[in-house]
Amino acid sequence: MTKENNNDYRRIMAVAKKRGMLDQRLIESASQFAEQIHADEIYLNEPFMTHPWAVARIIADMQLDSELIAAALLHDVVEHGADIKRLEERFEPAVAEMVLNLTMNQTGKDPNSGSIRYHDQLVDKIASDFGPLYIKLASRIHNLQTFKRSGKGAKDHDAGDELHARKIKEAEEFYLPLAESTEIIYLREMLQNACFKAKFPNEYHSIQQQYNYLLRDNKNCTERVKDLFTRKFYHQEIFVSQVYDCKVEKCRICDINDSIKLLLRESGNNYKQVITKYQIPLFDIFLILKDQDAISLTDQFLGLYEEVMARESLFIDFIKLCNNKSCINLTLKDIFSNQYRLSVYSQSSYELYLYGKNPQKSRYLPKKYRGESEKGFFSKIKVFTKDHAEKTIARGATVLDFAFLIHENIGLCAEYGIVNGEEVPLNTILSEYDHIQIVTAREDGREVVRACFEWFEYVKTPRAIHILIRWFKNNYVLKEF
């Protein structure tokens, strides 16, 4: 399997672009190096590289920088035979040092002896920096998520069960308490879900299966709400001025299990009877508001609720304010009685939820691509249409610029883009050799214009700017006068 065909790798690159983290060469170099080391290795009947790609995807989804993603891709290479000197020559010191900090030097016959020493070393390392812990937690999450996919033979069954049990025990007795004490809640919740899947695979599968049936049966109703938070919301002026980010995710299976335990016991483990839209939320929604000293988080949210959500017939069914008032937990209901769990954070409290109390947090925030100013905006890059036709466009151009390059009407009606198979917003900056498809807005089968004044902040090329100026002049200024 090549990285271009791996969903996790494609997701890593899409997140990197969306967050303005444009140092993709480092990520590609780290992936190539790891692929060479793990070339002939198998992980649970799949190429071993599926593991570092999955770990790096978790790190990328945390909105961390290219150096940490590169270290995640490389975190197993030294243990699997990579030459340390070659690693240090190929990558900058911060990446090489991180990989060495993650490397377990196990000696002796006792398989637990190396783990104990490694855990002690890890605790010492994270006293000043959580970077190694982020990657180690992500690695253990993927280990437990995928362990049961193993196709072990009969003679390996006992050894496999022993390894499985040891990894779960380490997660519950070492990694979960460590994530709790460092307040890395995001990864702690993911690890709890992975532990539940590894310990109780049958229960996990039964809940997951019924939950997916529930999502499928209510898809038409829930799509409207998901669209509100992921697209329409972004065109509201109040959203642009107050909201930092918004995410809609599937509920964790372990959370569903916790909420239905009693009902499940009373029903005789009848999952179909218990897992209904009246008992569980269908999606988790995270709404992150920009920090504003003059306005409380509660007042900010209530303003957004009245302006946007209430008008879309979303009603508050339950509300709870966290003790430190940095988070609001709500249950929303739509007119079809579908429930949604909404967590409202300030930007600073959401960063704490993601990263914990990391003294070096700012070190890992995404950085702009360092070569951009040297090459200049007016240099060109090659990109491709969905039909693989080659186009050239200015370096630094966005998906919206590309839409206007293809055709004026496609630009004016653009809704979002698909870059290398991943859906991205119109202000995503393009990179060399991207494959791009533009999705236009439609009503009653016809394309409709989506242009708004905010788009002047999205476009960079003279052609796109000229088309927007002409369209607004013809459709607004002349009509007013």
Handedness of CA 247, 253, 254, 256 (dihedral sign): positive
**Token reading at 162:** 């022993």
Pinpoint the alpha helices (H) of 157-248.
Answer: 157-170, 176-181, 185-199, 201-217, 219-230, 237-242
Cα gap 202→253, rounded to integer Å: 12
Is residue 408 within 8 Å of 467, Cβ to Cβ?
A: yes
Whole-number pLDDT of residue 376? 40
- The CB density around residue 280, as the number of other CB atoms within 10 Å, is 19
pLDDT at 126 over 60: yes
Whole-number pLDDT of residue 367? 47
pLDDT at 355 over 60: yes
Whole-number pLDDT of residue 186? 95
Whole-number pLDDT of residue 193? 96
Whole-number pLDDT of residue 210? 96
The answer to which of 89-98, 101-110, 242-251 has the lowest mean pLDDT is 101-110
Whole-number pLDDT of residue 369? 32
Highest mean pLDDT of the ranges 81-95, 122-136, 316-330: 81-95
pLDDT tens per residue across span 15-74: 666 555 557 788 889 999 999 999 888 877 788 999 999 999 999 888 888 899 999 999
**Token reading at 306:** 């009245």
Residue whose token pair is 């052609």: 463
**Residue that wins the pLDDT comparison between 477 and 5:** 5
pLDDT more than 90, % of the chain:
45
> Nearest 5°: CA angle at 185, between 282 and 63?
85
**Token reading at 56:** 């790096």
3-state class (DSSP) for residue 290: coil
pLDDT more than 70, % of the chain:
83
pTM for the complete prediction? 0.72
pLDDT tens per residue across span 409-422: 999 999 999 999 99
Transcribe 245-265 into DSSP letters.
EEEEEEPPHHHHHHHHHHHHH
Contact partners, residue 345, CB within 8 Å, separation at least 6? 286, 287, 288, 289, 297, 326, 327, 353
The pairs formed by 174-178 with CB atoms below 8 angstroms and a separation of 24 or more are: 174/119, 175/136, 175/137, 175/140, 178/123, 178/126, 178/133
pLDDT tens per residue across span 196-255: 999 999 999 999 999 999 999 999 889 889 888 877 666 565 566 688 888 899 999 999
pLDDT at 374 over 70: no
* Beta bridge partners of residue 187, listed in sequence order: none
Whole-number pLDDT of residue 378? 41
When the pLDDT of each residue in the chain is averaged and rounded to a whole number, the result is: 83
Mean pLDDT of 149-171: 65
